[in-house]
């Protein structure tokens, strides 16, 4: 019998609007009831995010599976924050279901910054080093009682084999468009790369939208919904999805990554990129073009 976790059905997302959020805040946290509420532009997929005044935000899970992370974030982000070299969101309050909204939710301080992108980063190698230093600090935090991979984080920190089926489906769809033999080899190399079982904390979704810049420099790291303790290779995917070749080398050196973890990290990047390419092939929007670029970076860097 296989021990590989299964992801289960696609989450059934709920909608939430500003009026519901206004009622939730007024009923449960009257001290903030007078503050204006407006949706955050690109406010997220796993969570719906709203501005609460100028200095606070409301974060509401969009499905029952994502709501599993609320208690984790409430418990652990205050523990992690003082041990990290950059600001992270630390919850100020935990809300209950109400006003027609069915899940727990949170109020956070608003962290200023713009999402990272290659054209906004002032010094790519410095950015890569700063991000690596953040992850080094995160990995150094004691993992006693920390949440292990599970449904709360879609098994980040666990085996890549959880995503084998979706990666292979994507390869089948991309046949004739990309070198699926080479991509399949890179994927198989990642699956075979050994992890020694030494657990550390990981973020779980180190992606451009969760890295905030100010004046072109890394200023904060947000969205810890997929964090936990386990194999931290999932955090290495950013090396291909955002960093330059020189930045990638600096990132690897500062994290002291061996060949096996590098291969697993490449696998995490490849899985997501293959799925995105399969969904967007033939389109010319930013998401599609970026996915094809990342796939090119992964293939070009790979040396068997």
Provide φ and ψ at 61, rounded to 5°: -60, 145
pLDDT confidence band for 287 (50 / 70 / 90): very high
Task: Tell me which residue of 44, 75, 72 sits closest to 225, measured CA to CA.
Answer: 72
pLDDT confidence band for 304 (50 / 70 / 90): confident
Rounded Cα gap, residues 273 and 291, in angstroms: 6
List, for residues 112-152, the tens digit of each pLDDT value.
999 999 999 999 999 999 999 999 999 999 999 999 999 99
- pTM for the structure as a whole: 0.96
Q: Does position 1 have pLDDT exceeding 70, yes or no?
A: no
Q: Is 225 within 8 Å of 46 (Cβ atoms)? A: yes
Task: Tell me which residue of 58, 60, 56, 52 sits closest to 15, measured CA to CA.
Answer: 60
- At 225, list the tokens: 């919904």
pLDDT exceeding 70 applies to what percent of the chain?
99
């Amino acid at each position: 019998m296989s021990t590989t976790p299964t992801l289960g059905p696609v989450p059934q997302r709920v909608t939430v609007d500003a009026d519901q959020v206004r009622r939730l805040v007024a009923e449960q946290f009257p001290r903030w009831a007078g503050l204006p509420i407006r949706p955050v532009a690109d406010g997220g997929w796993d969570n719906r995010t709203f501005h609460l005044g100028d200095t606070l935000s409301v974060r509401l899970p969009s499905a029952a599976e994502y709501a599993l992370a609320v208690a984790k974030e409430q418990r652990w982000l205050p523990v992690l924050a003082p041990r990290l070299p950059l600001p992270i969101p630390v919850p100020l309050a935990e809300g209950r279901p109400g006003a027609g909204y069915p899940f727990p939710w949170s109020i956070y301080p608003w962290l200023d910054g713009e999402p990272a992108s290659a054209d906004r980063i002032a010094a790519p190698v410095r950015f890569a080093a700063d991000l690596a230093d953040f992850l080094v600090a995160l990995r150094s935090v004691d993992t006693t009682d920390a949440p292990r991979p599970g449904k709360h984080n879609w098994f980040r920190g666990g085996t890549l084999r959880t995503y084998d089926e979706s990666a292979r489906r994507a390869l089948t769809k991309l046949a004739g468009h990309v070198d699926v033999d080479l991509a399949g080899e890179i994927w198989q190399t990642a699956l075979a790369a050994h992890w020694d079982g030494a657990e550390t904390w990981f973020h779980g979704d180190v992606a451009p939208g969760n890295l905030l810049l100010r004046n072109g420099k890394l200023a904060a790291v947000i969205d810890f919904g997929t964090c936990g303790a386990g194999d931290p290779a999932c955090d290495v995917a950013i090396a291909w999805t955002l960093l330059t070749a020189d930045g990638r080398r600096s990132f690897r050196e500062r994290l002291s990554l061996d060949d096996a973890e590098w291969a697993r990290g490449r696998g995490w990047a490849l899985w997501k990129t293959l799925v995105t390419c399969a969904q967007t092939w033939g389109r010319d929007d930013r998401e599609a073009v970026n996915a094809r670029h990342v796939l090119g970076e992964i293939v070009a860097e790979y040396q068997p």
